[in-house]
Structure 1
Amino acid sequence: MNGSSVAIVTGGSRGIGRAVSLLLAERGYAICLSYVSDSAAAQAVVDAITAKGGKALAVRSDVGDEADVIALFQAADKLGRLAALVNNAGVVDLKSDVADMSAARLQRMMNTNVVGSFLCAREAVRRMSTKRGGAGGVIVNLSSVAARLGGPGQFVDYAASKGAIDSLTIGLAREVAGEGIRVNAVAPGIIATEIHASGGEPDRVERLGPGVPMGRAGTAEEVAAPIAWLLSEEASYTTGAILDVGGGR
């Protein structure tokens, strides 16, 4: 992979996105990562990559905003040819029963997690498709084991948004398989990142980790590695797959 091959990592400043950005940079991609509010964290990732001789750019972009998504991809275009998209950006909310969820909560959840992933995939396909003059590419979406567990009494809305990601992955993979584009997803389980605190449960990893069949939570790096594999030529005949990275959960 030469330095002119660009990978966009949405939500690339923290957690899984940060781990993916760093790993893909090590593998020779120029990284364009998006963030919403924490510019210092995003810049720290860029600095870590450039310190090792890599190319990286951080762009403030809310993936639920179409204009922001277009601007993100236009910024990435300046780095070189888009070869990879990691649709990682997503949100959770406070634990709630469906009966108590507001329309505003549901709209925020679906706009970021579902519409945002669709918009980014759209822009990626427009650039990658061999039918549109592109050279092909790979998209990896971030699903969750919540899509099949359902998140009852906690976050059925989040689980449903990830179910939509599974459908996007399968449908888009079949739609663009003849256009030089592979589309897959990874479905993490309990992973030790800051997302749990943002959902009001900072102790969730410690509480639920021991109940996972493997006896612990996973790390962001343990999710980044299979993402990198799906992006690689080693996965050249894999498309439409949803890879479970849940420790057996």
Structure 2
Amino acid sequence: MTSVTIVTGGGRGIGAATARRLAADGHDLVIGYRTDHAAAESVAADVRAAGRRAVTVAADTCDPEQVRRIFDAADRLGPLTGLVNNAGVTSPIGPFTDLRAEDLREVVDVNLVGYVLCAQQAARRMTAGGAIVNVSSAAATLGSPGEYIHYAAAKAATDTLTVGLAKELAPRGIRVNAVAPGIIRTDIHARSGVPDRPDTAAGRIPLGRAGEPDEVAGAIAHLLGPDASYTTGAVLRVAGGL
């Protein structure tokens, strides 16, 4: 059976690396993105060069109708077998007392509400053998004091979503897992106002360096694949020892 997998936030960072890795593993891809059409199309071109089909869909994962559009695009490729819930945002790093309400709402909307809406569509459409991987964060257990506690809290909710949904969907033969990356070398840090964070934080990471997107993509591919056929409700930490 052909694997048809949706990757949200698939135009950059971990999502782009995951799409390329899954193409190499034989998946056809729907690449969701919010604004950067050129980046998403570049990833899609790499997928096609690997011999797989790729469709890009511009969508805000906080909007149920736009989420449905991503999943409808997947239906046109074939029965949905995989979802990588990856679209996420941070906000400026700083003390909790300086957190702006608009930043809080965006972080919760994208990192939690968006994940729920996408997982709901996947749960409605998948059959036995399907798999969902939520991209969480090591922040969920570290708390991120002095940086972005609200982001950590949203990612902790992602872990709970993973565990609960895994139990609910297990009788249908659908697996749900998460990966929890640590500090990974992507452009998400620029959004937080600290673009050099992967380098400045290296000293507090036990392995002594930031991670690379491909290292997270490998973990996601494992959880979607047959070697993880008895794994559900797990949160796999990919954080260099943090």
TM-score (norm 1): 0.95
Residue 245 of structure 1 aligns with which residue? Answer: 238
SS of 1:82's partner is coil
Q: CA offsets per residue over residues 153-190 of structure 1, 9 Å max, x none?
A: 11001101100000000000011110110000000001
Q: CA offsets per residue over residues 9-53 of structure 1, 9 Å max, x none?
A: 000000000000001011111100101111000000011111232
Aligned length: 242
How far the C-alpha of 1:233 sits from its partner, in A, is 1.0
How far the C-alpha of 1:127 sits from its partner, in A, is 0.6
Q: Map of 1:8-87 to 2, 5 A cutoff?
A: 8-87=6-85
Residue 191 of structure 2 aligns with which residue? Answer: 198
SS of 2:9's partner is coil
Percent of aligned pairs with the same amino acid: 52
Residue 96 of structure 2 aligns with which residue? Answer: 98
Alpha carbons 1:192, 1:218 under 8 Å: kept: yes
The one of 219, 223, 232 equivalent to 2:216 is 223
How far the C-alpha of 1:210 sits from its partner, in A, is 3.0
Q: Which amino acid aligns with 1:119?
A: L
Alpha carbons 1:96, 1:153 under 8 Å: kept: yes
SS of 1:45's partner is helix
Alpha carbons 2:23, 2:50 under 8 Å: kept: no
Q: CA offsets per residue over residues 174-229 of structure 1, 9 Å max, x none?
A: 11110110000000001001100111111101100232100111100000001100
Q: Does 1:184 align with 2:182?
A: no
SS of 1:81's partner is coil
Q: Which amino acid aligns with 1:173?
A: A
Residue 139 of structure 1 aligns with which residue? Answer: 132
1:52, 1:178 → 2: CA distance? Answer: 34
SS of 2:178's partner is strand
How far the C-alpha of 1:66 sits from its partner, in A, is 1.0
Alpha carbons 1:210, 1:217 under 8 Å: kept: no
Please identify runs of 4+ aligned residues in structure 1 that moved more than 3 A: none
- Residue segments in structure 2 that go unaligned for 5+ positions in a row: none
The one of 161, 167, 170 equivalent to 2:160 is 167
1:214, 1:52 → 2: CA distance? Answer: 32
How far the C-alpha of 1:65 sits from its partner, in A, is 1.1
Alpha carbons 1:185, 1:241 under 8 Å: kept: yes
Q: Does 1:236 align with 2:234?
A: no
2:159, 2:82 → 1: CA distance? Answer: 18
Alpha carbons 2:179, 2:237 under 8 Å: kept: yes
1:172, 1:93 → 2: CA distance? Answer: 27
Q: Which amino acid aligns with 1:68?
A: Q
Q: CA offsets per residue over residues 83-116 of structure 1, 9 Å max, x none?
A: 0000000000001222222222111111100000
1:17, 1:138 → 2: CA distance? Answer: 16
Q: Does 1:214 align with 2:212?
A: no
2:229, 2:49 → 1: CA distance? Answer: 31
SS of 2:107's partner is helix
- Residue segments in structure 1 that go unaligned for 5+ positions in a row: 129-133
Q: Which amino acid aligns with 1:233?
A: P
